Amino acid sequence: MESSDRILARARTAVLIPCYNEELTIADVVGRFRAELPDAEIYVFDNNSTDRTAAEAERAGAIVLPVGQQGKGYVVRFMFQHVEADIYVMVDGDGTYPAASVHSLIAPIINNQADMAVGSRLHGQSQSQFKFLNRFGNKLFLSALNSIFKVRLTDILSGYRAFNRKLVKSLPLFGGGFEIETELTIKALERGYRIVEVPIDLSERPTGSSSKIRLVRDGMRIIHTILALFRDYKPLTFFGAMGLIVIAAGFVPGLIVVFEFIETRFISHVPSAILAVGLVISGMLLVMVGLILHTITRRFQELNYHLQALIGEHRDNRKQ
């Protein structure tokens, strides 16, 4: 087996840092990653910062690329499309993630044990300094995601990740804001990519540097993303559960009418009867929609599998 050092020496590694007004910390972040990964290309994606972020990043030796459309999600999509490398590391520009952990983060990618490695701030072995609300929100989204998608992850919102090229170039991402991390995790899971979590310790933002998260707005966007992906990737569970609830609700007026009919051979609660029929038919319709979408999703998954196999074959042919 080839040693991971030798593989790393040959692989092109890119460190990607999305940034919005991080003049206080960006030079330090670039410097630390340069020290840990001397051969890597370090890119800073400046998203209309109004402070000296771009100048500071350039001074520290990073390649600075401006991105016009505002939002972390747009920036992640831009960098995945435009940066060519074999191993990708993504990290925040606020200096809260430890650069020294980058080696344990990229190890599973180099050794081909994972397609995405996530620096987990909530792992049993992590000692993270989290703000109370952020920790609470994180746990809430996590339990929703773990139960819907039947996985056991400990951090879905982490901004410190490593990827291989295959994943970066094949995930279709649409989110524009902070929901991008949720989208990355769910879409990678659904496509069968291997995800591992590596414990990391989160530190606090230094004083004077301000958070870009707006709890209500970004929280709503993340909930919306989880629900939309639930609908798209688990349609039978999503529509089926709704359908069963509506059918069960139809039983309440329905049973009143049935009991009355058994007792008196007569129906006086006509509105209840109409309501019951309406609810049961609507519920059945929802279950049917779930079944149809489930079949279509399955077929698309098969199609996607063949497509990936074809792309792999094409790549192998070109290498020869």
Ligand X SMILES: Nc1nc2c(ncn2[C@@H]2O[C@H](COP(=O)(O)OP(=O)(O)OP(=O)(O)O)[C@@H](O)[C@H]2O)c(=O)[nH]1
How many Å apart are CA 275 and CA 214, to the nearest integer?
43
* Pair 290, 240: CB distance under 8 Å: yes
Beta bridge partners of 162: 89, 117
Which residue of 15, 24, 93, 187 would you call a contact of ligand X, by CB under 6 A?
93
Which residue of 32, 72, 161, 165 would you call a contact of ligand X, by CB under 6 A?
72
Nearest to 83 by CA among 23, 114, 32, 40: 40
How many Å apart are CA 44 and CA 155, to the nearest integer?
24
* Least CB distance to Mg ion at residue 292 (A): 42
How many Å apart are CA 305 and CA 298, to the nearest integer?
11
Which residue of 8, 14, 16, 19 would you call a contact of ligand X, by CB under 6 A?
19
Contacts of 149 (CB under 8 A, 6+ apart): 186, 189, 190, 233, 234
54 binds ligand X (CB under 6 A): no
Which residues within the stretch 208-227 sit at the binding site for ligand X (CB under 6 A)?
Answer: 211-213
Q: Which stretch binds ligand X (CB under 6 A): 33-41, 93-101, 189-197, 258-266?
A: 93-101
Total H helices, total E strands in the chain: 11, 7
- Taking the least distance from each CB to Mg ion, the nearer of 13 and 25 is 25
Indicate which of Mg ion, ligand X, none lies near residue 161 (CB less than 5 to 8 Å, by partner kind): none
How many Å apart are CA 117 and CA 200, to the nearest integer?
11
Which residue of 20, 33, 141, 160 would you call a contact of ligand X, by CB under 6 A?
20
The first and second tokens of residue 61, run together, are 């030796």
The first and second tokens of residue 196, run together, are 């591992």
96 binds ligand X (CB under 6 A): yes
Which residues within the stretch 259-278 sit at the binding site for ligand X (CB under 6 A)?
Answer: none
Which residues within the stretch 127-156 sit at the binding site for ligand X (CB under 6 A)?
Answer: 134
Contact positions vs ligand X (CB under 6 A)? 18-20, 22, 45, 47, 70-72, 75, 92-94, 96, 134, 159, 205, 211-213
